[in-house]
Structure 1
Amino acid sequence: MIVLFNKPYNVLTKFTDSEGRATLADYIDIPRVYAAGRLDMDSEGLLLLTDSGKLNHELTDPENKAYKTYVVQVDGVPTKSQLKQLEQGVALKDGITLPAKVKRIPYPKWLWDREKPIRVRKNQPTSFIQLKIKEGRNRQVRRMTAAVGIPTLRLIRTHIGNYHIADLKPGQYRVVK
């Protein structure tokens, strides 16, 4: 079984927390499912959970090389040069990333309001890009966009391989057999 979950902003990708923060247990009432991968607390969107250790391994194994697709709101308007840097791979402290697929996109009409709105500066526009990567390094997308000069303001994962968030609202999930 696979559970597709639209993880809201400010929710931990685990079922327990000693500090009383929001966790998966506040949204998912299915016993013995575990997250296949992670999304940072300040990231939103598609999270896959499963009750199968074998399936969990298949979903998270870098050898499977499934693309993860993100809609990223960035600070500023990316130049062609910045987009090309993302496409070619970005030098981070832990090495150069694999090439990404990236394109500018218009404001997503399906985008929901966030509990805590992003910061807005009157003299600095924001824009959206779609970024597809095969890796899953810690805070990778945020580090990549910052490295090329367009820091991430909001990060929403929409796809993992063939699985997609579809019409799930934040906090909703759907079970796929």
Structure 2
Amino acid sequence: MNYRYVIFYKPYNVVSQFSGDRPSTQNLVSQPSQPSTRRGDPDQPPSTLKNFISIPDVYPVGRLDRDSEGLMLLTNHGRIQHRLSHPRYGHPRTYWVQVEYIPSPQALEQLRRGITIRGYRTRPCRVTQLEADPPLPPRVPPIRERRAIPTAWLEMTLTEGKNRQVRRMTAAVGYPTLRLVRVAIAHLSLGALQPGEWRELTQVERQALLSL
């Protein structure tokens, strides 16, 4: 079987699924010479992955919420989908998280150690406060801004992916999430991709993925 592995920079207001008819396999190029740059319109109903990705029969490994952005991996390789989705394997996922207010050292330590959300205790994770805003393209539409309330950026690396987990974690310690961007899954990273762009993995990336 010809396995395909794609990384995609999901923009805001895009749902992590294909809906309706899948793209036809006719007139498809096996790999784009340049990344796709189709973008969703934030003033319209949410786009789906079908609006961006023209490869048939690949499916997302995990998901990102409609209001989250960043790296998604898509493949038609069932073993890799299972390996990266099943909680027992605990592969790392790294996020840049913009929160309201400046988190206290105590709040950061709470996040690192794990907190209880809806009866579930989160696993310990890595959390650091970034010294400067990360090099991200502007979000469309931009986040709400209130002059009297400062914001901060955190880098959080989790080994689990419960529904809206990062948002619920930061809210539980008193710092609501304003913007959430996944920048890495295991050894895969966004690199030079821009929102709405995708590319197939390099040979080196595929080999590292298959060795997990």
Moved more, 141-150 or 45-54: 45-54
**What is the aligned partner in structure 2 of residue 6 from structure 1?**
9
Structure with greater strand share of residues: 1
Q: Does residue 127 in structure 1 map to residue 133 in structure 2?
A: no
Q: Percent identity?
A: 44
* Whole-angstrom distance in 2 between the partners of 1:56 and 1:94: 27
**What is the aligned partner in structure 2 of residue 50 from structure 1?**
75
**If the length of structure 1 is used for normalisation, what is the TM-score?**
0.95
**What is the aligned partner in structure 1 of residue 180 from structure 2?**
155
Count how many residue pairs are aligned between Structure 1 and Structure 2. Answer: 176
Q: Does residue 23 in structure 1 map to residue 26 in structure 2?
A: no
Name the aligned partner's letter for residue 86 of structure 2.
Answer: D
SS in 2 for 1:146: helix
Q: Structure 1 regions of 5+ residues with no counterpart?
A: none
Name the aligned partner's letter for residue 7 of structure 1.
Answer: K
**What is the aligned partner in structure 2 of residue 77 from structure 1?**
102
* Whole-angstrom distance in 1 between the partners of 2:107 and 2:45: 40
Structure 1 residue 91: Cα displacement: 1.1
**What is the aligned partner in structure 2 of residue 104 from structure 1?**
129
Q: Does residue 36 in structure 1 map to residue 61 in structure 2?
A: yes
CA RMSD, Structure 1 to Structure 2 (Å):
1.4
Q: Does residue 144 in structure 1 map to residue 175 in structure 2?
A: no
SS in 2 for 1:74: strand
Name the aligned partner's letter for residue 79 of structure 2.
Answer: K
* Whole-angstrom distance in 2 between the partners of 1:109 and 1:149: 22
Q: Structure 2 regions of 5+ residues with no counterpart?
A: 21-43, 207-212
Could you say which structure has the larger radius of gyration?
A: 2
* Whole-angstrom distance in 1 between the partners of 2:176 and 2:133: 19
